[in-house]
């Protein structure tokens, strides 16, 4: 007989155990291969999303120079300009000299030259007290704008003081400056009188508005980088009028003249970030290379030689680092949770191997009797395991590669390769030559090897738990893809220790029950309890599966509820109210109208009184002075997570001992309560006293150096009208946030930012990292439930030979077939009940041990680690669902066992 025919015959003899073992290897290898690939896919999506969410000015790699490019770069008309010249070549050289993959992640270099600070001296439009022009040249501006009135700026005059220089303003800037196409003005030429007299240069240069444009795509990165080109800065004074600072495009050739009218020159250089080039494999390198690039001065050409050096800056490396930390945390959390399912998978594979060996025991005994050595028998079993497992593992890995399409890495298949050798090792180790003794008659507590193994498990669990308390998961030191193996295995080690405890303790009440039933009528109770004490199911495997399964399910549920609660708290702390309104200063009438919107119960405006100078013990500090109504703020933020401390708001309403105004300050100012402060305010000096210290980051202002004073207190110094830029709004329980936001936009106009906590929650939960973490937790829950169900059924199948021997004996003594199910229920019922009780307790205790070592703040978006949150409904639903699956599996095992034919049972012997 050929080797192939022999293997085929052997496979047919033990077909279903072989298929079961191969199926387990296939599924496990697929999951082990899909896991790192799925984390890579989540990391890549989160990475690109995080960088894309940055404003253009934060995302781009940008630098500023205080000199203009060489004059030759401006020698082209506006309508035919191209990004060529010395500056463009220098930017391209800088990019091509970068190491890969950073060079590929950056787009083509761009630049804009600007002349800043050119006041119009005459004539000024009505109610415009000051009009300051800035001049901009961008050789590629026509890609971003559309002229809606007038024409593009034409060539400049031949000499200074000749024909007017033509300007192109945005629609918003022209409206703010109250200029129309064709309107002229004059600007001062900033040359000394001596030079002007010597060169016969006029002191003024006329300018004219030749056209008005609008942005083709106002949301493009270009306008975030150059927002002054799209809208003018306005400062309104009800007494003197409005001061306007507007930036106009000019013909490139005109820049050589207008820079003589500007107070200073500035050139902006930038590279756009190609977010699609950021992947899980390239991101760490890009971050490291980008940080090195940002710290290195770069030479750029200028109108003078040698040209200046500039240093590029960007917030992209920080966004990459945050995404990397989230991915590393996700990988570590999933590894922590996966240790349980992997342990159960190993136990399930051991059951399948045991079943397979039982089917081949007679053949193995015959081979041994014919002279085969122990190593030869074990080697043949290992070969059988490889023949079954290697193709299954390859198919599983291939399926994972096809289902999760990310760039291939050797590390993706490492665990799948290891899974292919597990069955071979188990088959070689589980074979016992000539061992026909009954395990159920062996002493339950006298096996020294078992005692050693149990002691080692308990010691390892204690050591791992101690390390977990001492250093946690050490997330700050883990690189992406790394896993702290010992700490990740802590849940499994603790579960194994609990299994040892259950296996040692649960026979005690059963033995008592068996002794009580010994002298009472009825065989089932006594026999079932006695068998459960002597041979508890299949030993450790079902106990491990049920305890680990329920513990991991509950732990995942608690982690899920803690994450979602943390997201909600972080969203409330970030918004600061049911609705946060931010925009240009709002008038008193607008604030009153917002307060009367249907659904709004109260409002708390916050006014920034500008940046002022404070003096503390001879030291000068620049601070942003904020004011609000403390009582209204307490009412708006009542019950919100991360609310400004009510005690500090109350302190703003209490008088101080020396009559100074009470203020709460940022910790950045390093001022202790009771410190006296002198503040320059509207031409006078007022005395302040620090009554409390808040947190550095507050919803009131993006500034880090701030002071908060009550409205009534600051009004006692000088009565004034407040124009807040932030309005925190409290909504009624039945209010529709969308309807309220629509009404607010009708009052203030669309140029405002509206935020609600629900929007932040939806954005966080829907992000790649948030969705990936939740999906991973639910995948762990489902996989554990299925594994436990499979383990129960397989345990029943493994127990079939011993059970059939007992039933055959009982049948000869007249035991009725209808009682077979009750006897089978005793096999797994007691151990299942004990394991479920222990698993529930462990699942509720495990979060208290481990959650303090898991960093969820990277996912929630909050500054602080979210507190443990247990959702009772979710916990009850998970426990109930798990018990339903276990009961259904027990019922299926009992039903399958009762289908034994009488003839098959009667043929069983004790051999």
Angle at 68 between CA 65 and CA 69, to 5 degrees: 105
With helix as H, strand as E and coil as C, how does 633-678 read? HHHHHCCCCCCCCHHHHHHCCCCCCCCCEEEEECHHHCCCCCCEEE
Distance of CA 317 to the CA centre of its chain: 16
Residue 11 pLDDT level (bands cut at 50, 70, 90): low
Residue 30 contacts residue 400 (beta carbons within 8 Å) = yes
pLDDT of 93 higher than 60: yes
Average pLDDT, the chain: 82
Residue 844 pLDDT level (bands cut at 50, 70, 90): confident
Q: What is the pLDDT of residue 113?
A: 93
Whole-angstrom CA distances from 576 to 568, 604, 672, 856 are 12, 11, 25, 21
Residue 314 contacts residue 62 (beta carbons within 8 Å) = yes
Better-scored residue on pLDDT, 481 or 415 = 415
Mean pLDDT throughout 306-324? 87
Q: Are strands 204-215 and 165-170 parallel, antiparallel or unpaired?
A: parallel
DSSP for 491-531 reads HHHHHHHHHHHHHHHTHHHHHHHHHHHHTSS-SHHHHHHHH
**Residue 744 in tokens:** 């607010």
Q: Is 679 helix (H, G, I), strand (E, B) or coil?
A: strand
| Strand intervals (E) in 694-788 | 706-710, 726-731, 753-755
Backbone angles phi, psi at 881, to 5 degrees: -65, -40
Q: Averaging pLDDT over each range in 85-99, 447-461, 474-488, which range is the top one?
A: 85-99
Residue 420 contacts residue 386 (beta carbons within 8 Å) = yes
Q: Averaging pLDDT over each range in 160-164, 581-585, 878-882, which range is the top one?
A: 878-882
Non-local (6+) Cβ contacts of 82 within 8 A are 76, 139, 140
Residue 902 pLDDT level (bands cut at 50, 70, 90): very low
> Which helix (H) or strand (E) element contains residue 200?
none
Residues 449, 455: Cα–Cα separation, whole Å: 10
pLDDT of 728 higher than 90: yes
The ranges assigned to domains in the chain are: 66-78+110-276, 579-755
Torsion of CA 482, 487, 488, 494, to 10 degrees: 170
Better-scored residue on pLDDT, 481 or 67 = 67
Q: What is the pLDDT of residue 446?
A: 47
Q: Is 86 helix (H, G, I), strand (E, B) or coil?
A: helix
Residue 713 contacts residue 661 (beta carbons within 8 Å) = yes
Angle at 420 between CA 419 and CA 426, to 5 degrees: 80
Residue 726 contacts residue 581 (beta carbons within 8 Å) = yes
Least confident of 29-43, 180-194, 546-560: 180-194
pLDDT in tens, 114-150: 999 888 887 888 878 888 999 999 988 898 999 999 9
pTM over 0.85: no
């Amino acid at each position: 007989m050929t080797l192939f025919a022999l293997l085929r015959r052997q496979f047919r003899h033990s077909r279903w155990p072989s298929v079961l073992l191969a199926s387990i290897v296939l599924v496990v290898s697929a999951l082990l291969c899909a896991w790192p690939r799925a984390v890579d896919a989540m990391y890549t999506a989160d990475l690109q999303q995080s960088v894309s969410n940055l404003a253009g000015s934060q995302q781009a790699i940008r630098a500023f120079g205080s000199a203009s490019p060489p004059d030759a770069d401006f020698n082209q008309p506006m309508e035919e300009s191209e990004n060529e010249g010395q500056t463009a070549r220098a930017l391209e050289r800088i990019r091509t000299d970068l190491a890969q993959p950073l060079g590929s992640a950056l787009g083509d270099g761009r630049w804009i030259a600007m002349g800043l600070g050119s006041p119009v001296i005459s004539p000024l439009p009505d109610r415009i007290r000051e009009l300051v022009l800035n001049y901009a040249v961008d050789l590629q501006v026509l890609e971003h704008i559309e002229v809606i009135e007038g024409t593009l700026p034409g060539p400049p005059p031949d000499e200074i003081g000749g024909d007017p220089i033509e300007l192109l303003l945005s629609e918003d800037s022209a409206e703010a400056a109250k200029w129309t196409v064709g309107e002229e003005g004059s600007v001062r030429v900033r040359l000394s009188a001596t030079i002007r007299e010597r060169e016969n240069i006029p002191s003024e240069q006329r300018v004219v508005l030749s056209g008005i444009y609008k942005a083709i795509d106002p949301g493009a990165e270009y306008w975030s980088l150059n927002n002054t080109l799209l809208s003018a800065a306005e400062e309104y004074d009800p007494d003197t009028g409005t001061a306007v600072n507007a930036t106009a495009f000019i013909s490139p050739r005109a820049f050589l003249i207008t820079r003589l009218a500007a107070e200073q020159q500035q050139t902006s250089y930038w590279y756009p970030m190609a977010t699609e080039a950021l992947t899980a494999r390239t991101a760490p390198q890009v971050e490291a290379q980008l940080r090195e690039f940002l710290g290195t001065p770069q030479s750029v050409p200028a109108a003078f030689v040698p040209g200046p050096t500039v240093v590029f800056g960007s917030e992209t490396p920080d966004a990459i680092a945050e995404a990397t930390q989230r991915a590393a945390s996700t990988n570590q959390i999933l590894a922590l949770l996966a240790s349980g399912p992997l342990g159960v998978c190993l136990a399930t594979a051991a059951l399948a191997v045991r079943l397979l060996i039982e089917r081949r025991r007679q053949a193995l005994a015959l081979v041994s009797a014919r002279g085969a050595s122990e190593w030869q028998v074990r080697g043949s079993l290992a070969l059988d395991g490889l023949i079954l497992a290697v193709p299954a593992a390859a198919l599983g890995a291939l399926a994972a590669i096809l289902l999760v399409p990310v760039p291939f890495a050797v590390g993706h298949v490492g665990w799948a390769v290891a899974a292919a050798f597990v069955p071979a090792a188990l088959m070689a180790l589980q074979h016992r030559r000539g061992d026909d003794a009954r395990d159920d008659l062996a002493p339950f507590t006298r096996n020294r090897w078992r005692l050693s193994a149990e002691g080692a498990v308990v010691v390892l669990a204690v050591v791992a738990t101690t390390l977990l308390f001492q250093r946690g998961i050490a997330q700050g030191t883990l690189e992406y893809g790394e896993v702290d193996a010992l700490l990740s295995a802590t849940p499994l080690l603790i579960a194994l220790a609990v299994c040892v405890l259950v296996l040692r303790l649960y026979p005690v009440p059963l033995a008592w029950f068996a002794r009580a039933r010994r002298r009472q009528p009825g065989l089932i109770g006594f026999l079932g309890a006695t068998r459960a004490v002597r041979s508890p199911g299949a030993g450790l495997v079902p106990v491990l599966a049920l305890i680990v399964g329920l513990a991991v399910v509950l732990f995942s549920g608690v982690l899920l509820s803690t994450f979602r609660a943390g997201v909600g708290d972080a969203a409330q702390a970030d918004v600061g109210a049911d609705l946060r309104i931010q925009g240009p200063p709002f008038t008193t009438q607008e604030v009153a109208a917002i307060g009367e919107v249907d659904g709004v119960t109260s409002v708390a405006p916050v006014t920034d009184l500008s940046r002022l100078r404070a003096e503390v013990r001879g030291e000068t500090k620049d601070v942003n002075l904020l004011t609000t109504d403390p009582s209204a703020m307490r009412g708006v933020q009542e019950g919100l997570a991360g609310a400004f401390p009510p005690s500090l708001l109350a302190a703003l309403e209490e008088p101080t001992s020396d009559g100074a105004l009470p203020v709460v300050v940022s910790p950045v100012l390093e001022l202790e309560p009771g410190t006296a402060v002198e503040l320059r305010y509207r031409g006078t000096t007022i005395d302040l006293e620090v009554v409390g210290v808040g947190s550095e980051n507050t919803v009131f202002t993006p500034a880090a150096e701030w002071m908060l004073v009550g409205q009534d207190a600051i009004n006692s110094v000088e009565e004034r009208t407040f124009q807040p830029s932030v309005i925190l709004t409290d909504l009624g329980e039945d209010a529709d946030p969308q309807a309220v936001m629509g009404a607010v936009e009708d009052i203030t106009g669309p140029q405002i930012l509206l935020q609600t906590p629900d929007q932040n929650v939806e954005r966080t939960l829907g992000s790649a990292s948030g969705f990936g973490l939740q999906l991973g937790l639910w995948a762990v829950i489902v996989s554990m439930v299925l594994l436990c169900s499979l383990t129960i059924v397989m345990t029943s199948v493994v127990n079939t030979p011993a059970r059939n021997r007992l039933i055959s004996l009982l049948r000869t003594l007249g035991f009725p077939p209808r009682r077979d199910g009750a006897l089978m229920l005793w096999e797994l019922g007691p151990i299942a009940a004990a394991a479920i009780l222990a698993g529930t307790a462990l699942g509720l205790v495990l979060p208290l041990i481990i959650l303090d070592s898991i960093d969820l703040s990277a996912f929630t978006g909050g500054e602080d680690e979210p507190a443990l949150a247990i959702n009772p409904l979710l916990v009850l639903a998970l426990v109930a669902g798990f018990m339903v699956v276990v009961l259904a599996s027990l019922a299926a095992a009992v039903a399958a066992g009762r289908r034994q034919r009488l003839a098959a049972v009667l043929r069983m012997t004790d051999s």
